[in-house]
Structure 1
Amino acid sequence: MRLHGTVTSPFVRRVRVVAQELGLSLEWVDTTTPEGQASLQRLSPLRKVPVLEVDGVGVLDSHAICDLLLAREAGEAGDFRRPRAATQIAEGNVIHAIDGAAEAAIRLFYFRRDAVDSEAIPYMRLERERVARALAWLDERVRGPWCTEVDGFGLAELAVVTAVEWMQFRAVAAMEPYPRLLALVAAHAERPSLRGTRPPGM
């Protein structure tokens, strides 16, 4: 299986973390290279990362990729908490909220990188508000280092850590108003799979 992506993408990093937690080795395709871009375009009409190539077919979304890896490796995953029916709604809501914030923050980052005044565009002002609302909502709901009523590091915690660390790295959102989220991120910072996938400078 070949994973297409960039080392800085929070969504790609989630897949890399899950693979490490499961003890899987994925061949890496760097999509910042011309060869990587050509392979990505062959597999995905969206040209978004991550894409996992499985038997010549692209799996086009980080959630689908993580679900596939967890299903294929149905045995032990160390202390990585697999999704459970009892926490499905809470975990799903956390993941969707942080994903919405991350996607909005990514758009803000690219506007800034391309020297576009996002504050002059009403939709982009809404995107900035969306980031703040989602982070505030999450900050009220996390329980110490966990995102649900069940202890353990799972997909929800992974989504929060990778998104928040990316927002800090790119300086797209002030994180000081969200001390519980910052504490959650700090609690997991030295987890080997997170430390091993953290881009230089993050």
Structure 2
Amino acid sequence: MKLIGSYTSPFARKVRVVLAEKKIEYDFVIDSPWLEDSKVPSINPLGKIPVLVLDDETPLFDSRVIVEYIDNVTPNNKLFPAPNRERTEVKRWEALADGICDAAATAFLEAKRPKGQKSNEWIERQRGKIMRSLEFMAEELGEKPFCMGTHFSMADIAVGTALGYLAFRFADINWQESHPNLEKLFTKLMQRPSFADTVPHD
């Protein structure tokens, strides 16, 4: 199988971390829908990354669909629990983390628009979502070693990816200082090869 994405996309990183944790080999094809000659729209009609192309050429998107598929490919290192209340909580963590990434990516792209076209009000709206989500995240985590308590799960991968993207694109949002429990979790996650080997870069 091959994964189409970029080194900067937090959603592609999330998938790469899951593939590493599951010890699944794949080809990483660098592409972005923002490139003029991008092949992404011809593979994913939504024109978004990441896209996982299976061996039979079936394209899977978006990242939440992809990671759930990958977790079911092999029985080792399960990241999602069986369908129950706990699974719903894991997916809620993932939705929250993905929402932070969505807001951050939107604010980043808006800020790159020409001065007369960009909306500072829109950027602040996205940053507000991020700040509220970080508060909620920190409160939910509390003093637990991992998002779901004592065990590593998809919730931690999603949260770690979101925090990593903020550290990469929004250093001025100093979540490390305002939410030390999130920094503690992030530091622990960065000790895992799956995270250390997928740090975003331009």
TM-score (norm 1): 0.86
State the shift of 1:45 in Å: 1.2
Alpha carbons 1:83, 1:155 under 8 Å: kept: no
> C-alpha distance in 2, partners of 1:64/1:93?
14
Residue 93 of structure 2 aligns with which residue? 94
State the shift of 1:50 in Å: 0.4
State the shift of 1:139 in Å: 0.5
The superposition leaves residues 45-99 of structure 1 with CA deviations (integer Å, 9 ceiling, x where unpaired) of 11111001122221111111111111121x222xx54334351232222111121
The superposition leaves residues 119-141 of structure 1 with CA deviations (integer Å, 9 ceiling, x where unpaired) of 2x3x4432221111111000111
Moved more, 29-38 or 191-200: 29-38
With over 3 angstroms needed to count, the CA separation of the structure-2 counterparts of 1:36 and 1:21, relative to structure 1, is farther
Taking only aligned residues, the RMSD between alpha carbons, in angstroms, comes to 2.2
Structure 2 counterpart SS, 1:14: helix
The superposition leaves residues 101-155 of structure 1 with CA deviations (integer Å, 9 ceiling, x where unpaired) of 1101111111122345542x3x443222111111100011114331123x22211
2:6 aligned with 1:13: no
TM-score (norm 2): 0.86
Residue 82 of structure 1 aligns with which residue? 80
The superposition leaves residues 148-188 of structure 1 with CA deviations (integer Å, 9 ceiling, x where unpaired) of 23x22211000011110111111263313222111110121
Structure 2 counterpart SS, 1:145: coil
Q: How does 1:142-161 map to 2 (within 5 A)?
A: 142=141, 143-149=143-149, 151-161=150-160
What residue identity is the alignment partner of 1:69?
A: I
Alpha carbons 1:4, 1:36 under 8 Å: kept: no
Q: How does 1:1-202 map to 2 (within 5 A)?
A: 1-32=1-32, 37-38=38-39, 40-54=40-54, 55-73=56-74, 75-77=75-77, 81-84=79-82, 85-116=84-115, 117-119=118-120, 121=121, 123-142=122-141, 143-149=143-149, 151-171=150-170, 173-175=173-175, 176-200=177-201
> C-alpha distance in 2, partners of 1:44/1:179?
39
With over 3 angstroms needed to count, the CA separation of the structure-2 counterparts of 1:20 and 1:36, relative to structure 1, is farther
State the shift of 1:189 in Å: 1.1
> C-alpha distance in 1, partners of 2:196/2:124?
33
Question: Aligned residue pairs: how many?
Answer: 194
What residue identity is the alignment partner of 2:3?
A: L
Identity %: 28
> C-alpha distance in 1, partners of 2:69/2:36?
25
**Consecutive unaligned residues in structure 1, runs of 5 or more:** none
**Consecutive unaligned residues in structure 2, runs of 5 or more:** none
With over 3 angstroms needed to count, the CA separation of the structure-2 counterparts of 1:8 and 1:139, relative to structure 1, is same
Alpha carbons 1:108, 1:118 under 8 Å: kept: no
Alpha carbons 2:3, 2:52 under 8 Å: kept: yes
With over 3 angstroms needed to count, the CA separation of the structure-2 counterparts of 1:187 and 1:43, relative to structure 1, is same
Alpha carbons 1:29, 1:36 under 8 Å: kept: no
What residue identity is the alignment partner of 2:184?
A: A
> C-alpha distance in 1, partners of 2:79/2:99?
23
